[in-house]
Structure 1
Amino acid sequence: MDILAILLALGLLMFLAFRGMTLLLVAPLMAVLAVVLSGSLPPLASYTQIFMVSTGRFVVDFFPLFMLGAIFGKLMDDSGCAAAIAKGVIGKLGVERAILAVVLCCALLTYGGVSLFVVAFAIFPIAASLFRDAQIPKRLIPGTIALGAFTFTMSALPGSPAIQNAIPMPFFGTTSFAAPVLGIITAAIMLGLGMMWLNRRSRLAAAAGEGYGQHEDSMPAPDRTMRERTQVEGFDLAEIDPEPSGPDLPGFALAFAPVIIVVAVNLLFIQLVVPRLDTAPLALPLFGETTIEAVRGLWAVIVALSTAILFLIATNWARLKDLRASLNAGADASVLPIFNTASLVGFGAVVAALPAFAMISEAMLSMGEGNPLVSVAVAVTTLSALTGSASGGMTIALDALGANFVELAASTGTSLEAMHRVTAVSSGALDALPHNGAVITVLGICKLTHRDSYLDILAVAVVIPMISLVALIVLASLFGAF
């Protein structure tokens, strides 16, 4: 009965989230429903002592990253830096490499910390113009944006400030640069296979004489469905300027500098600053009796994003027409996504407390047959697919099984850095299913349907990341972390 309760609660959570209901309501309701149907735990105690405690712990751990990331993305948008990067890349590559140009634009922006929602709105008008000039079917635009915005830069590339790359750090004592060579190889596989797929689809369309097609490409007004889906992630479409270009765009070098700063400061802080810090006070009860290994990764990303934000403000003071409004909008935009993700974490904590979850956990752990990398991949991909959220599914898995994974890694001599990278890549392997909020939003921005374009999203954001994940696990199992 417990297993049926879990499956029913998960199914309803997926359905209601897909229909646009906020996770702030859906997640606790489904958690309580699972408890009531199982009859094994007291409902109110499960809500206040399990759901809320786990939700609050996630907010405490990761709110600075959500807030600073949202502010950074907003400033990149409002200053015109995002548009300048896009125009610079496209100017170098030209119309004949339209697909690669769009992928690289999305990749540069998301790797620098700009929200994929902002990126999609900023890039779509440019992509539409490029694809029309190159006579590439418009139906390939969502897949192109997906490849650049929510695959390799989100989970594979070392140093990415994406939350999917940050969540494993406190569990494994790693940093955002964990297993850098493995991460780069995995990212190259995703990018290479993704480009092969999209270019082949473009060639087949050209051979069939398809062309761009007859489409209305003006930016869509945010209808109710799109607004609901993006507000689930914390971004209001009405507040995003689809064409932030203007007569006073910064130069490409200046626009790209904040992205370099995020990565460089992150690395320098870990390598040069952390070893010189007095970390003894961290062992005191006042600071949670923790270790520097558990917090250094989070500290590095916080310092890196803060430095990049200060640089953005200093170098774009005249371009930021209302700095206070930009800062306020960025900070406000961080609240809803973290509480939605935290609510999924709370839901997962309640499910994990049900007696039947012990059997599910044992099954997930046993699938690896002694290889913890396979076990963590199975757990994270499954939960990310069910929740339609890479960060939510990953956190549920790590909260429930993180200690087991660490023990398995220790007993088998598996590198925790490899575990980090596999966990991050796993979170983005099955999350982009049809009910995923990012998928629905990108299709809405492009004024296309799942029938028009989901095949390409499925190929570049699900099938190819799964292939890359398998390759990553094989390499990490054979050679360890490097």
Structure 2
Amino acid sequence: MLSMIGLIGGLALLIILTLRGMNLLIAGPLCAIIVGVLGGLDLFPQTAPEGAANLVGNYMGGFSGFVASWFPMFLLGALFGKVMEDSGSADSVSKWIVGKLGMQRAVLAIVLACAILTYGGVSLFVVAFSVYPMAVSLFKEANLPRRFIPAALAFGSVTFTMTSAGSPEIQNWIPIEYLDTSPYAGWEVSIIVALFMAAFGYWWLRKMIGKAVDRGETFVGREEDPQVENRKLPNPVMGILPLVVVLVLSFIFHDSLKQSALIVALLGGILAGYALNYKYFNDFFGALSAGTVGALIAIGNTAAVVGFGSVAKAVPAFQTAVDAMTSIPGSPLIGGAIAVSVIAGLTGSASGGQAIALPILAPHYLDMGVNTEALHRTVSISSGALDSLPHNGYVVTTIRAICGETHADAYGAVGALTVIVPLLGLALAIVLFSLGLGI
């Protein structure tokens, strides 16, 4: 009982502190201490039995493991974003888009850019780094309140593309191992759900921005924003080519190099950005320095939350919660969706929700003769809902480290588009599968 109070209380406190703007390098360990102490974990490796879970060991294991796995991608993604910004490529592409589509479609351009890169296999974190400079330029051109930039980036990345059939993101690939399906499982339903989420989410985003504009909100510049007045910009084609290089290289090397394909793709994008537009840089080495600092802040914030999740998974209450979630009676699709969603919310990770729930769920549901394609798509979509609570690593990184906003200003729109919209899409998927579509 005490362990469950610690788990729920620690998670609730982490969300509250995140929304109130506390530094995650403080909030993450603090809340992990509450979870660990009330969960009965030893504090240090030296005081715990050999091989047993302990607070410091589990927290730092999760923290350092995430840094070890993702630092090259965070660093190169931040550097690529700065190259696009300092060379004027982002501004050039933004002005061209606004000129062709009109300012009223500036938000659509950002969403589409994120969707194309995400579906092309570029990591969600890297997409946010890469598209942010263009998003700032577009919002500035259209004079839209910049606090909605995180929502536009997140909507285009972690909703209708991340969990759709054919997506190369791991949230679509983890079920394959347990259900013996393919990345295109349930594609008929997936197309309908993706179109619904894209259309409804975009309408909602535009409505939220429109209300803010009607209240008098406008774009507010910052000192760190690139200054483009009276500046010569590269040709829009030269500006967009580095993004194309990232997308193409990521696609070419995705199967052979997996996650490491991003290293090749981003390095290629940086080199292409410099080679094509070297004459337009304001301060190339200064941009690299700023990108490096940004990458360190971003990965530190994210790793702090991952460390919390590693402690949460080690306490007895977590296994109790998993057992309860994975034994929900009724439709296997509903039970599986609830289990994955709740576990993803507890860990702040879509992939974590699947990796914990599927080894338990899959054998049970397979014995029941559940349609694996329907279960694959339902589980994939459900993992992308409650995972986007305020403490989620991607949410924290995008809002704070990349966009420089606060949760108080930006999370309302982000939560609406990355939690509520996917939940509605999940409900639609379950209804369609229950009616026999795609089965």
| TM-score normalized with structure 2 length | 0.74
Shift of 1:438: 7.4
2:12 alignment partner in structure 1: 11
Shift of 1:341: 1.9
Specify the code of the residue in structure 1 equivalent to 2:42. Answer: P
1:187-226 alpha-carbon deviations (Å, 9 max, x no partner): 43222113334566799x7xxxx98454564425xxxxxx
1:41 alignment partner in structure 2: 41
5 Å matches for 1:70-469?
Answer: 70-95=78-103, 98=104, 100-108=105-113, 112=117, 116=128, 123=135, 126-127=138-139, 130=142, 145=149, 148-157=152-161, 165=169, 178-179=183-184, 186-197=193-204, 212=214, 214=216, 217-219=219-221, 240-241=224-225, 243-244=227-228, 247-270=231-254, 274=256, 296-367=257-328, 371=332, 377-379=337-339, 381-382=341-342, 392-394=348-350, 396-397=352-353, 400-401=356-357, 403-404=359-360, 414=372, 418=377, 421-422=380-381, 425-426=384-385, 430=389, 437=396, 459-469=416-426
C-alpha separation in 1, matches of 2:66 and 2:172: 12
Paired residues, number: 409
Query: Structure 1 residues 301, 193: CA separation in 2 closer, same or farther (over 3 Å shift)?
Result: same
C-alpha separation in 2, matches of 1:308 and 1:127: 24
SS at match of 2:313: helix
1:284-324 alpha-carbon deviations (Å, 9 max, x no partner): xxxxxxxxxxxx42022222222222211211212223322
Shift of 1:90: 1.2
Query: Structure 1 residues 200, 473: CA separation in 2 closer, same or farther (over 3 Å shift)?
Result: same
Query: Structure 1 residues 431, 472: CA separation in 2 closer, same or farther (over 3 Å shift)?
Result: farther
SS at match of 1:317: helix
Shift of 1:126: 4.5
Query: Structure 1 residues 216, 255: CA separation in 2 closer, same or farther (over 3 Å shift)?
Result: closer
Query: Structure 1 residues 202, 297: CA separation in 2 closer, same or farther (over 3 Å shift)?
Result: closer
Contact 2:14–2:28 (Cα < 8 Å) also in 1: yes
Specify the code of the residue in structure 2 equivalent to 1:130. Answer: A
SS at match of 1:151: helix
C-alpha separation in 1, matches of 2:170 and 2:97: 28
Contact 2:389–2:415 (Cα < 8 Å) also in 1: no
Contact 1:51–1:347 (Cα < 8 Å) also in 2: yes
Specify the code of the residue in structure 2 equivalent to 1:195. Answer: Y
C-alpha separation in 2, matches of 1:243 and 1:122: 13
Query: Structure 1 residues 420, 265: CA separation in 2 closer, same or farther (over 3 Å shift)?
Result: farther
Query: Structure 1 residues 28, 195: CA separation in 2 closer, same or farther (over 3 Å shift)?
Result: closer
Shift of 1:107: 3.6
Q: Unaligned stretches of 5+ in structure 2?
A: 46-53
Q: Unaligned stretches of 5+ in structure 1?
A: 132-137, 221-237, 275-295
| TM-score normalized with structure 1 length | 0.68
C-alpha separation in 1, matches of 2:14 and 2:57: 21
SS at match of 2:201: helix
C-alpha separation in 1, matches of 2:406 and 2:151: 18
1:35-72 alpha-carbon deviations (Å, 9 max, x no partner): 2223x221223123322122222222222222222222
1:78-102 alpha-carbon deviations (Å, 9 max, x no partner): 122222222121111124xx0x332
